[in-house]
Structure 1
Amino acid sequence: MAKEGEMTEINLVPIEDNSSGHSSLDRPSRTDTSPTYANSNSNRASNFSYPQAKGPAPAYHQQRYSYVDDTPGGSPPGTPITGGGGATPYGSLLPPPKYPSYANSNGADTRSSSPFPQSQTAFQSQDTLRPLFPDTPSTFFNKEWVKDGSIAQLHSRDDAEFWHGWKRNLFYFAPFLTGLSLALYWVYFGLRIAFIVSAQNAKRASFPMAWIFVAIEISVAIPVFMQNFWTMFALKKRRRPKLRLIGNDVPTVDIFVTCCGEDDDLVLDTVRGACAQDYPQDKFRVIVLDDGKSAGLERMTRDLADIYPNLYYKSRPKFPGVPHHFKAGNLNYGLDEVHTMPGGAGQFMAALDADMIPEEHWIRAVMPHMLVDPKMALACPPQLFYNTPPGDPLCQSLDFFVHVCEPIKDALGVAWCTGSGYVVRREALDEIGNFPLGSLAEDVATSTLMLGKGWKTAFVHEPLQFGTVPDDFGSHLKQRTRWAIGTVDTSIKLKFCLWGDQIKRMTFAQRTSSFLYAFLSLFNILLVLSMFALPIVLIMGKPLVAYANFEQLRWLIRACFAAVISNRLCEFVLFIPSGYHTGQRGSRYQLWMSPYIALCLIRSFVLPKWLGGQTQAFKPTGSLKSALNERDPQKRAPMWRRMWTLIANFMGFFHIGYVYFTLVAVTMSSYRCFNKITTRDIIICLVTHAFWPPLSFIIVCSSFWIPITYAIDPPSVKDREELLVRDPKTGIAHPSKESKKIAFSGQSSWFEIEYTFTTLYTTLILVASFFI
């Protein structure tokens, strides 16, 4: 094997077919000459609905490659892979392009039948590789590995840009620390249960509140246990190198930019980034799929097509009373439309959300992972953002998921499609009947159905796209609750991936992952119910722990200390890839967001309409303007209006009420303890009631207060244009280096003070247990 960071070469060599028939290396070619293009119903998931594709069947041409790894121990020369879904390369069977005008006086598109005419200034496929090497330009372009139709391995790890060195070495201990933390937690709970039984036998009385509190602690810990258990699979090495597709002998790609009511300027920045890909112009086209029917966007897109002849605008018709199935329907409309366009459908399809600006080397970075494995159905990079506010108080970044969870899932062969920036093989889409309808999580459903058919998915851990997070509290809630509804709904339709024909070829790890994430969403209902147990037990004046003698109390304190400290160490190591503060934000987010997700799930899946149930709804987020202008220091609404909006529209009253109720319960419980006679009795009463380490009520209350703090003092974010670096000549914009990072804030310092204080307090109680 090549050493880490060493450049190796992987060639894609065309194989000549001298036979009159099809080679055994080919996938079956499409021979249907009927005027409609539709998939067999036998390939469709029974719990989802699919549209019938329309339009003439495209011409298909099989293009085959052999995979050659020149590194020692690599794959043997000639290992075959296919070039994709069998679509005709657009430039090979089409007449020469015509320049320069593509619209007549009526605005109709008058471009030639060639979908992708060659640009007069062709892209250099090596340009995106130049910064990676210290050589002079002349030496760089003379590298032997720069050949048409080849794949270069830039590094043995695709995540080398995110983290390396001592941090990576330390992260290898995360599974062991996770195992230790889980073991100590169960020892602690075991002692709690044993000592309650002992106390009941010694005092001949029952302790129902102690049992309830133990049950609550265990129930709240279950999702933590499950997620931590999942992270133990980090022991499985993830071997996905950093690859680049070189030259102009490349597959054809249809790039869809989906939009629905976002700002035209924002969509145009994404479109320009997609059009400016370092990829041969006759091998890809960009199609704007506008579900909002914006006249301004249509006009600007057609104007931009004068510069980029491979750019197209499409807007599907919608009829009253006919379901249009939101983003999935829009994508399927695009998949049908490309069959009617010159050259037919591309071998691969790629998709971008309206606000996701791709890096110039996006396609060349993702495509190699599709080509080296003929069973790779989909490859997806992380969703990263450039307008995340300082401190990210609402935990809007997905850093923990994309830097910790997704790499582990990828190592186990269960990478998800996360909705933007992905490249998908048309063959795989055909087999599942295009994007499944009837779900708000069409991306997760798509990748799950592909895995169920025996295809593979990949997570490409490179920073290849940057978008925008919702710029107001309401849009953030709608986005996250929609994700939760979509995940649970997809899991229910697929029987939680436990059985059924749709997932019969999924592995155990793939089934476990799908079940786990659905369960974690549903667990928010139990989490909300359990959080009220703590103040209720304290209001009733009952202790949180029960014991028969002081020696048992000392052992409980010691076990609690061991569990808390091991958990803190585990957090430090486990959060390394995403950043420590990001991981802690995620923990607080699970607490304060749980009421919203729980209520949404109950109304969507439990309650009938006459009791407040509601059908699933969708509203695009991430780029819609806030009426309160919360993050604009000049235009934001006054504080009283922000607070009233939170309380009246976004359940702010629940957060205020819970924090008030909990603090009152802590005060009443502590007041009763001070009625004890001796100092020793007072201390023991306080510790066994409200102040049992690690002071959970402080963490819970401070987490629940986050929406209130956000309304009172929302973070300020620069105007979007100030976060971009724009080329004055081409108008192409990319996020600045600074905007790609989450700035530190004072709120993060305050929360760290809380964690440090509770940890020190737990240590102090341990020391005191030896003397009191």
Structure 2
Amino acid sequence: MAADLIYDIRELPDSSQASQGQRYRAHLYHVARLAIWTSNVYLTIRGLAVLLGPQQWQTWMMFLVEAIFIHLSRKDQNLVIAAFRVNREGRRRRLRLQGNEALPRVDVLLPCCGEDVNVIMATVRAACAMDYPSSCFRVLVLDDGGSATLKEAVSQVQTEWSHVSYHSRGRQSGMVFAKSGNLNYALTELQRRSPPEFCAVLDADSVPTPDFLRATLPHLLQCDEAALISTRQYFSNLPTGDPLSQTRSHFYTCQNAALDMLGRAIDAGSGAVFRRSAVVHVGLYPTFSFSEDWQLSQILHGMGWRTFQVQEPLQFGLIPDSLTGHCAQRSRWNIGHAQQMPAMLSPEYKHYPTSLRWSIALNGLGIIAGEILCFLGFLAVPLLFVSGDLVPTNYPSLARTQIVMSAFQVLMMWMFEYLQASQNNFQSAPFAHLENKWLAGSTILAVLKFYLVSARPKGSSFVTGSVLNSWNRRASSAWKKMQVDLWKNGVWYNICLLSATIWTVLTAIRPILSGIGDISPTELLTSIAFPPLLHVCYLTLAVNWVPVAYVFNPPRYPVDEAAVSEKSEKAAPHPHEAAKDEISSDVKWPMVEKVGKEILQLGTRLEIQEQPKL
């Protein structure tokens, strides 16, 4: 019998933003196809011209740099095409599970390890107070920190909510498979006698809204092939403008939304709800990586299960409120992706199908390769500006064809990126798939240190909570904090790259501005004014300016400590309806214009529209 005949599931109207985004889907699909076709033709012509021309290093370097950034844009273009062919509406319905009788049983798993007790208890109280019959769900606090204080705090709220309980494997300090081992402990040991049908996972600092379960369960109940549904993560301490792109808006609204239409959405960790039998069937959470949520999604896909994502604001977490915390978080994720390759090539995981093992290994290789390619692509820009001719001119007609096609190809990339940003109402900027690529060098170094020095977590560097990753916001002085950001977090490299790029650009155009020498339009367009070079130069400046602006003009993070530390508060501290309405409204983040003007003004801050305060 169909699930919707057993359970009372109702559909809510779409938000205005979702309705507006649907208008762009058909246009975006056709532009994506045209962009791919144009880039294929262009790369063929460019490759032929490079082979037939003088074999110079600069022409080959320019060609490879162009291919790198075209390849990096292809992921979004292919996703748009695939998703549109499957679902032209491009939306996931907003559903609500009604009633209080005969609802499925759910265990809410809350893994933690050393986070602030007040932060954890804010999540515990909100989870216990969710709008769902207390007889149908339990809240299991899974403490790998072995905190007696946390245990006592949980016991105190049991007088109000008897369906919450404290459990611990003992003090693990992030070891013993970290979060994945903690979750597997619950799925095996704690649920052995009374396994629920579904489980939800909340990070220690992710406060759920009252309708969290009623909004997520219907998508699993209506599709027997669905194993997991992920929810977009929203944050209550987001600074104005989100300078580090910590909301990951592009991932949620563009990439994962397209994967959702294909039934292959990626689990973003906190806020996931899964069918317990499916996760047990595939061997529980994988323990070979720090990115266990990402790998679980891949394993489920390889085993024939579908995964979804909802965009509604159903949880509110905390982002790392320092550059050190942000860099540590990103390094942990990328080290997790790097772990996919050796794990899948080892005999320990031969129980996975061969095709699945190769898929996971290649996925990890592709992610790390993307970081390496960005690092090399940005580094090549200063060299290209002082290298002379970038386009072979031994065949004039072929040279003119390359110039025209290059301009058209760049134009199509920009058109696609702006349409994609318009689709989600500019919540993310054009070329947002490159956000945080200024960390590429640090990521490569972190992966090398992890494997060559010590493949073990160090201190709190791999603890999931944001509080322990934010220590340098309490540094003794602003100068000390800046030193940490410049050297430990590698921002000195971004400053050097920016300086080298700007210096080479000025050096290259100075003779033209001063009237020295006679240069023809063709010579200009095949060297410093070559459209792809100007395009990549802009990306280099825009991406690498982000951490520099952060260090010299740090944002102010809202402080929620008063709200989350009210131990006497019985009601769950969750965002009120007005805050959720603001998130759903039309909010624009014109980050391209912001970055460009900041570069031209050398640090003068641009006033932009303030983000919604949660």
Q: TM-score, normalised by structure 1?
A: 0.69
Q: Call closer, same or farther: CA 1:455–1:287 in 2, change over 3 Å.
A: same
| Match 1:218 to one of 67, 74, 80 | 67
The answer on whether the counterparts of 1:207 and 1:546 sit within 8 Å (CA) in structure 2 is no
Letter matched to residue 277 of structure 2: E
Query: Equivalents in 2 of 1:433, 1:587: separation in Å?
Result: 32
Aligned match of 2:412 = 566
The answer on whether the counterparts of 1:386 and 1:467 sit within 8 Å (CA) in structure 2 is yes
CA apart distance, 1:176: 1.1
CA apart distance, 1:407: 2.3
Q: Call closer, same or farther: CA 1:674–1:190 in 2, change over 3 Å.
A: farther
Query: Equivalents in 2 of 1:650, 1:397: separation in Å?
Result: 20
CA apart distance, 1:663: 2.8
**Secondary structure at the counterpart of residue 312 of structure 1:** strand
Q: Call closer, same or farther: CA 1:582–1:623 in 2, change over 3 Å.
A: farther
Query: Equivalents in 2 of 1:638, 1:686: separation in Å?
Result: 49
| Match 1:463 to one of 313, 316, 325 | 313
Unaligned 5+ residue runs, structure 2?
602-614
Letter matched to residue 150 of structure 1: Y
Letter matched to residue 375 of structure 1: E
Query: Equivalents in 2 of 1:516, 1:163: separation in Å?
Result: 32
Instruction: Give the fraction of aligned pairs with identical amino acids, expressed as a percent.
Output: 26
Q: Call closer, same or farther: CA 1:645–1:707 in 2, change over 3 Å.
A: same
CA apart distance, 1:587: 4.1
The answer on whether the counterparts of 1:571 and 1:580 sit within 8 Å (CA) in structure 2 is no
Query: Equivalents in 2 of 1:273, 1:490: separation in Å?
Result: 35
The answer on whether the counterparts of 1:253 and 1:347 sit within 8 Å (CA) in structure 2 is yes
**Secondary structure at the counterpart of residue 563 of structure 1:** helix
Q: Call closer, same or farther: CA 1:637–1:561 in 2, change over 3 Å.
A: farther
Query: Equivalents in 2 of 1:323, 1:166: separation in Å?
Result: 46
Letter matched to residue 111 of structure 2: T
| Match 2:37 to one of 183, 187, 195 | 183
| Match 2:537 to one of 665, 686, 697 | 697
Comparing both structures, which one devotes a greater share of its residues to helix? 2
CA apart distance, 1:473: 0.7
The answer on whether the counterparts of 1:174 and 1:570 sit within 8 Å (CA) in structure 2 is yes
CA apart distance, 1:700: 0.7
The answer on whether the counterparts of 1:670 and 1:686 sit within 8 Å (CA) in structure 2 is no
| Match 1:627 to one of 471, 474, 479 | 471
Q: TM-score, normalised by structure 2?
A: 0.85
Q: Call closer, same or farther: CA 1:536–1:588 in 2, change over 3 Å.
A: same
**Secondary structure at the counterpart of residue 468 of structure 2:** coil
Q: Point out the structure with max Rg over C-alpha.
A: 1
Aligned match of 1:153 = 10
Aligned match of 1:227 = 76
Q: Call closer, same or farther: CA 1:745–1:711 in 2, change over 3 Å.
A: farther
Q: Call closer, same or farther: CA 1:686–1:755 in 2, change over 3 Å.
A: farther
The answer on whether the counterparts of 1:390 and 1:744 sit within 8 Å (CA) in structure 2 is no
Aligned match of 2:262 = 412
Q: Call closer, same or farther: CA 1:580–1:521 in 2, change over 3 Å.
A: farther
CA apart distance, 1:395: 1.0
Q: Call closer, same or farther: CA 1:411–1:587 in 2, change over 3 Å.
A: closer
Aligned match of 2:286 = 436
The answer on whether the counterparts of 2:175 and 2:457 sit within 8 Å (CA) in structure 1 is no
Aligned match of 1:163 = 17
Letter matched to residue 533 of structure 1: A
Q: Structure 1 stretch 240-249 or stretch 296-305: which is displaced more?
A: 240-249
Q: Call closer, same or farther: CA 1:208–1:676 in 2, change over 3 Å.
A: farther
Query: Equivalents in 2 of 1:572, 1:427: separation in Å?
Result: 42
CA apart distance, 1:228: 1.9
1:750 aligns with 2:594: yes
1:280 aligns with 2:126: no
The answer on whether the counterparts of 1:375 and 1:456 sit within 8 Å (CA) in structure 2 is yes
Aligned match of 2:447 = 601
Query: Equivalents in 1 of 2:368, 2:394: separation in Å?
Result: 38
1:384 aligns with 2:221: no
Aligned match of 2:485 = 646
CA apart distance, 1:242: 2.7
The answer on whether the counterparts of 2:111 and 2:183 sit within 8 Å (CA) in structure 1 is yes
1:314 aligns with 2:138: no
The answer on whether the counterparts of 2:129 and 2:571 sit within 8 Å (CA) in structure 1 is no
| Match 1:591 to one of 434, 437, 456 | 437
1:67 aligns with 2:2: yes
The answer on whether the counterparts of 2:146 and 2:170 sit within 8 Å (CA) in structure 1 is no
**Secondary structure at the counterpart of residue 277 of structure 2:** helix
CA apart distance, 1:711: 0.9
**Secondary structure at the counterpart of residue 8 of structure 2:** strand
Query: Equivalents in 1 of 2:600, 2:550: separation in Å?
Result: 23
Letter matched to residue 531 of structure 2: P
Q: How does 1:481-492 map to 2 (within 5 A)?
A: 481-490=331-340, 492=342
1:292 aligns with 2:292: no
Q: How does 1:47-446 map to 2 (within 5 A)?
A: 66-67=1-2, 150-155=7-12, 160-161=14-15, 163-197=17-51, 200=53, 205-235=54-84, 236-237=86-87, 240-247=92-99, 248-318=101-171, 324-339=176-191, 344-446=194-296
Q: Structure 1 stretch 666-675 or stretch 347-356: which is displaced more?
A: 666-675
Q: Call closer, same or farther: CA 1:569–1:752 in 2, change over 3 Å.
A: farther
Cα deviation, 1:503-548, whole Å, max 9, x if unaligned, reads: 4797xxx997984575133221133123332322434x42222223
The answer on whether the counterparts of 1:391 and 1:745 sit within 8 Å (CA) in structure 2 is yes
CA apart distance, 1:227: 3.3
The answer on whether the counterparts of 1:366 and 1:379 sit within 8 Å (CA) in structure 2 is yes
CA apart distance, 1:484: 1.7
Cα deviation, 1:538-597, whole Å, max 9, x if unaligned, reads: 34x422222236655543332232222222221122123444251337345253122122
Higher relative contact order by CA 8 Å / sep ≥ 6: 1 or 2?
2
The answer on whether the counterparts of 1:382 and 1:461 sit within 8 Å (CA) in structure 2 is yes
Aligned match of 2:381 = 534
| RMSD across aligned positions (CA) | 3.6
Query: Equivalents in 1 of 2:559, 2:366: separation in Å?
Result: 39
Q: Call closer, same or farther: CA 1:165–1:361 in 2, change over 3 Å.
A: closer
CA apart distance, 1:391: 1.3
Q: Call closer, same or farther: CA 1:552–1:446 in 2, change over 3 Å.
A: closer
**Secondary structure at the counterpart of residue 717 of structure 1:** coil
The answer on whether the counterparts of 2:24 and 2:423 sit within 8 Å (CA) in structure 1 is no
| Match 1:716 to one of 556, 559, 566 | 556
Query: Equivalents in 1 of 2:262, 2:248: separation in Å?
Result: 20
Q: Call closer, same or farther: CA 1:184–1:746 in 2, change over 3 Å.
A: closer
Q: Call closer, same or farther: CA 1:564–1:152 in 2, change over 3 Å.
A: same
Aligned match of 1:555 = 401
CA apart distance, 1:727: 12
Letter matched to residue 495 of structure 2: I
Aligned match of 1:668 = 507
Letter matched to residue 548 of structure 2: I
CA apart distance, 1:184: 2.1
Cα deviation, 1:598-630, whole Å, max 9, x if unaligned, reads: 22334445xx44xxx64466232433363332x
Query: Equivalents in 1 of 2:94, 2:352: separation in Å?
Result: 32
CA apart distance, 1:360: 0.7
Letter matched to residue 314 of structure 2: L
Query: Equivalents in 2 of 1:568, 1:722: separation in Å?
Result: 44
Aligned match of 2:526 = 688
Query: Equivalents in 2 of 1:416, 1:495: separation in Å?
Result: 22
